[in-house]
Amino acid sequence: MNDLPFGFSASGNDDDGRDKDQNSGQNPGAAGGFDPAMLGQLFNQLGSMFSGMGAGAGPGSAPGAVNYEVAASLARQQIGDFTPMLEKEQSVVADAVRLAEVWLDEQTTLPAGVTTTAAWTPVDWLENTMPTWRTLCDPVAEQMSKSIDAGMPEEARAQAGPMMGIISQLSGSMFGSQLGQGLGTLAKDVLTSTDIGLPLAPEHTGVLLPQAIAKFSEGLDLPAQEIIVFLAAREAAHIRLFTHVPWLKQRLLATVEEYARGIRIDFSGMTDLTQGIDPQELFSNPEKMEELMGSAASFEPQTTPEQQAALARLETILALIEGWVETVVTDALSDRIPSTPALTETMRRRRATGGPAEQAFATLIGLDLRPRKLREAADLWRRLAEASDITVRDGVWGHPDLLPDSEDIDSPAGFIDGVIGGGTSSFDDPMAELERTIAEEEKRRSEGTGEAGTGDSDQGDDQQP
């Protein structure tokens, strides 16, 4: 699109006279794909890492499970040149979010959660979201490290000998390298801080990424200003949900940890990998290092039934989040922004299929962040609101046990009937409802054992001695 409003400009447009960031250390050729120089820099970092191997490792820790220095360096190279944000972009984001919040107030009982807005460059996204990526990746990487230590056959362990330390550190750098490439691509693709369904920005912060939005707008024959407000509404709706449903983020992270606990590694090729390798050769021969890295990549985690169950739960939660956001945003904007139906369908397809970056991240730790049942989840929330009201719909988020499961998403009629049939009071205070349920169960058990003489008829009087 060429009618991008305010300060939003296409990624390749230098007409505004702004200087590109000269301190990013980028090779201009790296922006279009993986630069061979990146591999050389990785080797240099690995050499430095080997020289200080073991430093800082404490009891029970998993040092080097992920080399985040490698990840950050490669991601920065993958990002390439970018246009720094100016005050006008910041103003655009603030105005769009402010307008969206007013409209959202009419369609949800959850109050606004945004107190700060920001326009981010891809590097801003990388730096500000890295803490959350650490939280997501550490359980997976550490479990893989533990699996290597516990699952390796004794004969392979004995043959590996001093190579064990190098293999452990190599694994951390491999993981960091893959993470860096995935995050570098994601940083250029994401449109908002919640674009992949996770709360990646600092709390209460609404974020748009103008460079990515400009690229996204080029493929749509729609008014760019409508696109910006639509994306701002999605961001604001996500933040309302994560702000006022405090257990939601923790439930997502706990599901990742559940997935990590089930990781098992196939070590059938370990003997062939370690046989005949001279550790000194790794310092002087990059080709040998590359060969070892390629061979080590074959030790992929084997998916277990427990992991499949965790992934199914993650998909369900993401679908419910995305479906709720879609429903609220559509209701808030459909009468105000003509392009809302087209943008809604575009975002559905974008989230359902995932881009190359999300696919790379799925390959990296085996987690698929795509809400496959987004359409069905949105239909459930819409039908629930139509059968009751938005207070009942939003009240379902009051406790994790109240949420619909995957079967409910597929067949929502029973879930909706249960909610409506039970009245709306159970959603006003879910903890009080839980306490009442427990008290009723204890009363029934007590009556069943004859400990409570409170009969409902006169029969109890006839049976007394």
pLDDT for 253-263, tens place per residue?
888 778 777 76
At 148 the pLDDT is 62
Three-class HEC string of the chain: CCCCCCCCCCCCCCCCCCCCCCCCCCCHHHHHCCCHHHHHHHHHHHHHHHHCCCCCCCCCCCCCCCCHHHHHHHHHHHHCCCCCCCHHHHHHHHHHHHHHHHHHCCCCCCCCCCCEEEECCHHHHHHHHHHHHHHHHHHHHHHHHHHHHHHCCHHHHHHHCCHHHHHHHHHHHHHHHHHHHHHHHHHHHCCECCCCCCCCCCCCEEEECHHHHHHHHHCCCCCHHHHHHHHHHHHHHHHHHHHHCCHHHHHHHHHHHHHHHCCEECCCCHHHHHCCCCHHHHHHCHHHHHHHHHHHCCCCEECCHHHHHHHHHHHHHHHHHHHHHHHHHHHHHCCCCCCHHHHHHHHHHHHHHCCHHHHHHHHHHCCCCCCCCHHHHHHHHHHHHHHCCHHHHHHHHHCHHHCCCHHHHHCHHHHHHHHHHCCCHHHHCHHHHHHHHHHHHHHHHHHHCCCCCCCCCCHHHHHCC
At 425 the pLDDT is 45
Strand partners, 265: 301
Strand partners, 205: 116
At 349 the pLDDT is 85
The answer to whether 270 and 156 have CB atoms below 8 angstroms apart is yes
* Residue 55 identity: A
Instruction: Give CA angle at 18 (13, 20), nearest 5°.
Output: 85
* C-alpha to C-alpha distances, 41 to 29, 85, 266, 289, nearest whole angstrom: 15, 29, 30, 13
Phi, psi of 59, rounded to the nearest 5 degrees: -60, 135
Give the closest residue to 208 by CA, choosing from 239, 163, 162.
239
Q: Please give the Cα distance from 218 to 239 (Å, whole number).
A: 27
> Which regions of the chain are under pLDDT 50?
1-2, 5-7, 11-34, 39, 42, 46-62, 270-271, 296-299, 423-428, 451-465
**Number of other CB atoms surrounding residue 327 within 10 Å:** 25
At 25 the pLDDT is 39
pLDDT digits (tens, 9 = 90+) for 220-279: 989 999 999 999 999 999 999 999 998 998 898 888 778 777 766 555 554 455 555 555
Q: Please give the Cα distance from 134 to 284 (Å, whole number).
A: 32
The answer to whether 114 and 239 have CB atoms below 8 angstroms apart is yes
Instruction: Give CA angle at 99 (93, 105), nearest 5°.
Output: 130
Give the closest residue to 245 by CA, choosing from 134, 351, 128, 325.
325
Q: Please give the Cα distance from 344 to 297 (Å, whole number).
A: 39
pTM over 0.85: no
Alpha-carbon dihedral 437, 438, 442, 445, rounded to 10 degrees: 60
* C-alpha to C-alpha distances, 150 to 52, 66, 93, 145, 268, nearest whole angstrom: 24, 18, 50, 9, 14
The answer to whether 293 and 345 have CB atoms below 8 angstroms apart is no
Angle, helix 68-79 to helix 122-151, in steps of 10 degrees = 140
- Give the start-to-end residue ranges of the domains of the chain: 63-365, 374-447
The answer to whether 89 and 119 have CB atoms below 8 angstroms apart is yes
At 243 the pLDDT is 96
Longest CA–CA span in the chain (Å) reads: 100
* Radius of gyration of the chain from its Cα atoms, rounded to whole angstroms: 27
At 112 the pLDDT is 97
Q: Please give the Cα distance from 219 to 227 (Å, whole number).
A: 12
Burial 237-260 (b: 16+ CB within 10 A, else e): bbbbbbbbbeebbeebeebbebbb
Query: How do beta strands 205-208 and 264-265 pair?
Result: unpaired
